[in-house]
Amino acid sequence: MTPTAVIVLAAGEGTRMRSGTPKVLHSIAGRTLLGHVVHAALDLAPTHLAVVVGAGREEVEAHLATLVPSALAVFQSRRGGTGHATRTALEALEKLHGELSGIVIVVGGDTPLLTGSTLRKLLVEGAGSAAAVLTAELPDPFGYGRIVRDLDGSLLRIVEERDADEQVIEIEEVNSGIYAFDVKALREALKTLSTDNSQGEEYLTEAIDLIRRNGGRVAAVISDDFVEILGVNDRAQLAECGAVLRDRINDALMQYGVTMMDPTTTWIDVTVEVAPDVTLLPGSALFGNTRVDKGAIIGPRTTLIDCTVGEGAEVVESTCRGAHIGADARVGPYSFLRPGTDIGRGAKAGAFVEMKNAKLGEGAKVPHLSYVGDARIGVGSNIGAATIFVNYDGVAKHETIVGDHVRIGSDTMLVAPVTIGDGAYTAAGSVITEDVPAGAMGVGRARQRNILGWVVRKRAGSAAAHAAEKSTGTVNITSEQLGDA
């Protein structure tokens, strides 16, 4: 069943979040609260989607445009309650598209656990009714309006908790705030909503009551999983919903064939793709548009953001953002791969290596303690420990090119722009400022000079001087031996 429209109510102030960010733009599992709700709504393929905005209007509208460019943002200038917001959205839709017919879904913008399958159940089980209410049986219904049913099981009324007597307060079935309406019945009910309540607002629950009193059938459809109706009003509830989504995502992946040693410490966004036979070790987090191919091992304590990891690769205790890690490559521990890094098949970026905008060729290695920025490193080359690619001259970044099967000696400084030819070597401790031809040895260091007796003279009385004297005996150093020291 396809609804004519879905109306998302997202105008609330969200004061309990105590945040400069509009409540519906807070994120869990890789989507904003609004993004999760819109995703569930789009699963129904509605003809129209309208989102009522208010607090943080500009930010919310800009975000909505990235989610669904065709969606209609409707500004509720006065926070007049859920009934007022729904009427504002319906009027805006009909002004744009003419009088609507069919079914309209109304849902809050702060229910990130809601799924399209539950909305579809509301449509199917509420078919033929003038209105249908999604309900749930909560173990702790505190704060929710209660569902009072007639003897035949049909909906009799919705009672807000503050208006409930002792008998009603014991009811565990609650109103989710999610509805399906026949457009004609909704339009008529919205015309006569009152503000005769403690908040002075128009409530959508009154529209339900008006439809029922006017002879329309109202269905109450119980959700299969009560967590889907849980809303977010503060940071604690945001974290609770985040944990539920984590468990939902992880369970689905494990059923799909992904191994997780500790699912409670493994966090994966809904936008991430993980293939079967991947192993995720404790403390790992996969965010954004990350994709991990089969047989890869991630973790422990690894964060991947917008990365691709090839088949059979291993990433250990590292942080990677915007990087491509090829099949059978090895990364870590304690590597930091920044955007634009491309680790080739079977290549290695080892312990305490930082790379940025750098391509590491097939089978090449940067084993440890190095910075590689703005570089291209060829097949089978080895970058010695403590090598620095000096890519920044204080004004601009420059590129270093290292050919195939090159050996860069430990503690080499490659001052860009510079090219090291195929098969070339650099001597350990060199500062390379000029190109090294293929097959050559590049040496860029001063010849060593030992100044005898310098410590005894310049650091007299120190532990080093005493050790030197003990080792060499009393030494009389001439001024000629000391030179200019």
Residue 253, amino acid? L
Residue 269, amino acid? D
Q: Active site includes 368?
A: yes
Q: Which residues of 336-357 are buried (b: 16+ CB within 10 A; e: fewer)?
A: bbbebbbbbbbbbbbbbbbbbb
- State the angle between helix axes of 57-67 and 33-42 in degrees (0 to 180), rounded to the nearest 10: 40
Please state, in angstroms and rounded to a whole number, the distance separating the CA atoms of residues 369 and 17.
43
Give me the residues paired with residue 5 across strands.
48, 104
Please state, in angstroms and rounded to a whole number, the distance separating the CA atoms of residues 375 and 390.
10
Specify whether the backbone of 84 is left (phi greater than 0), alpha (psi in -120 to 50) or beta: alpha
User: In whole angstroms, what separates CA 281 from the centre of its chain?
Assistant: 19
Please state, in angstroms and rounded to a whole number, the distance separating the CA atoms of residues 12 and 110.
9
In the structure encoding, which two tokens stand for residue 342, read together? 């491309």
**Spatial contact of 361 and 378, defined as CB atoms under 8 Å apart:** yes
Please, what is the Cα angle at 224 between 218 and 230, to 5 degrees?
A: 85
Catalytic residue among 36, 48, 63, 368: 368
- 3-state SS record for 54-106: ECEHHHHHHHHHHHCCCCEEEECCCCCCHHHHHHHHHHHHHHHHCCCCCEEEE
In the structure encoding, which two tokens stand for residue 260, read together? 């997780």
- Hey, is 447 helix, strand or coil? coil
**Spatial contact of 343 and 329, defined as CB atoms under 8 Å apart:** yes
Give me the residues paired with residue 343 across strands.
325, 360
Residue 218, amino acid? V
Please, what is the Cα angle at 370 between 366 and 373, to 5 degrees?
A: 90
Q: Say if residue 477 is exposed, middle or buried (CB neighbours under 10 Å; 0-12, 13-18, 19+).
A: middle
Which positions are annotated as active-site residues? 368
